[in-house]
Structures are given as structure tokens and as C-alpha cells.
Amino acid sequence: LKKNLGNIEDLIQAGASLENLSKRQKNCLETIKKVYEQQQSMWENKTQSVPQRIVSLTQPHIRPIVRGKVGKPIEFGAKLSVSCVDNYVFLDKISWENFNESCHLKEQVEKYKETFGDYPESVHVDKIYRTRENRNWCKERGIRISGPKLGRPPKNVSEEEKKQAHSDECFRNAIEGKFGQAKRRFSLNLVMTKLPETSITSIAITFLVANLSKLLRQFLSLFLSLFTNNRTGELIKPPFINFDYTLNNFYVLKLIDLSENSWSKVA
């Protein structure tokens, strides 16, 4: 490879031109040069890693991400940081480089406040988010963060605390279910685009369609509730529209704000 790249450089210095190459061929040539430089650097420094390592000639923006899973210790593709509010998914960060999710908790909570006007009552997160810094930051703003406290676990745990921990864990499973839904129903694991821009667009559209599907189910349930008895759930004969019950459903599902008599954001 070093010899071939050297021959190309000699031809260019002798007067040859790369204008007849297509854009894809030029990009591939530049990628090959970077791959050679990275391999040369690892060989000289006696190391097995290099920053921004290229693993694909056709998609040089993809990076290997060590996950440590059984059977798949290393994964390739975009890494997402998302939040789930009332079963609606918000795509907060997407990157082809590996990053620590816990560093973006503050940014996600601030985006929630910017969207809904107030800080959330509680934040349900994975273990990696429960750092001392994030805990102190949430405590200063009156936000309860899920999970046990740092340090040695207490010997005696009350039934109320156990019930609260179980409820928090069940609530947090909603975000895991959203990933599964996006992969099974909306082909999140079958992104076939090659360019980074088109891949990001495809991923964002996947979550947009998932949110629209949730919104459509809510509108369908509200439509059916127009002719449904609030107490028995049976069809009313003769059918009529219960405006108070329907308006209350809109308010509970956060589709309408009764205080301002205006529609509120849901996705």
C-alpha cells in the first residue's frame, strides 16, 4: 500500500492529474491515505488504538464502539442519547463518535424545561447517569433522580422505598421499549443510507414516525370516547357526545391546556 501511494504521488509530481477521477473515487483515495497513516502510527507507537479510527472505506465516519455485550463486544454505527416524556421520544444527541451519556443529563433536563416550562418532578435514568455530580445538580433543582443512593447500601430498607424503586425501574423500562419498537416496527436497525447526513435524517424520521403513531392512537381513543360511557365503557344508546368527558381526556393526555385554552406541544 505504501508503494502504491508513493507511485501515485510520483505521477502527480510528474504532471499527472486526478481530475478524471469521480468524486467517490477521490474520497476513497483520501480515505485510504488516512487509513495508512493510522496503521503506520499504531505500528510505530506500539498501540492498538488511534483517535477517530477508520473501519470502513465507504463510510469513513463510522467508528467502533466498545459495548462489552456477549457475542457483540464491539458495535458500529451512530450512538444516540434520547429521552422519553409521556411516551414521546426526543432525540437529544446523535454522534458517530463514542461519548459518555452521563455528561449530557443536564443538557437534556434543560431542554425539558425549555419545552415544557418547568423542571421535571423526577428523572428515571440508567446506572451510568447516577454520578455524584448529576445527583447534586438534580437535588439543587428539586428533581428526584431514580436509583439507590451512592455508597454502601443500607441494611434496612422500608417497604415504601422498595415500592418506589420498583415503580421507578418499571417507569424507566419505557425508554428501552421505545428502542425495541423503533427497531421492530420502524426499521431503526436497518438504516441503509451511506452518507452521515442521510443516516442522521433517517434515524430522526424513525423517531418522528414513532411519535406520530403514538399521537394517532391517542386521537383514535379520544374519538371512540366521544360515544363511550365514562363509567361502564359501553356504547350509549342513543349515541351522544359527552363534551365534558372528552375535554377532560384531552387535558389528561396533555393535548390541550385548559388554563390557557390553547394547544400544547406533544412531540
Tell me the three-class secondary structure of 66-120, residue by residue: EEEECCEEEEECCEEEEEEECCEEEEEEEECCCCCHHHHHHHHHHHHHHHHCCCC
The pTM for the full model equals 0.72
Q: Return d(Cα 215, Cα 13) in angstroms, integer.
A: 62
pLDDT at 257: 54
pLDDT at 261: 45
pLDDT at 246: 56
Q: Return d(Cα 184, Cα 199) in angstroms, integer.
A: 18
Fill in the DSSP letter of residue 235.
B
Fill in the DSSP letter of residue 38.
H
Residue 97, Ramachandran bin (φ over 0: left; ψ between -120 and 50: alpha; else beta): beta
pLDDT at 205: 93
Q: Which of residues 161 and 125 earns the better pLDDT score?
A: 125
For the record, the C-alpha cell of 118 comes out as: 418547568
**DSSP H or E segment with residue 64:** strand 64-69
Q: Give residue-wise pLDDT tens across range 163-217.
A: 888 888 888 888 888 888 888 888 888 888 888 999 999 999 999 999 999 888 8
Q: Which of 58-72, 88-102, 196-210 has the lowest mean pLDDT?
A: 58-72
By DSSP bridging, strand 144-145 and strand 122-123 are parallel
Cα distances (Å, whole numbers) of residue 196 to 38, 63, 74, 83, 98? 21, 12, 20, 22, 15
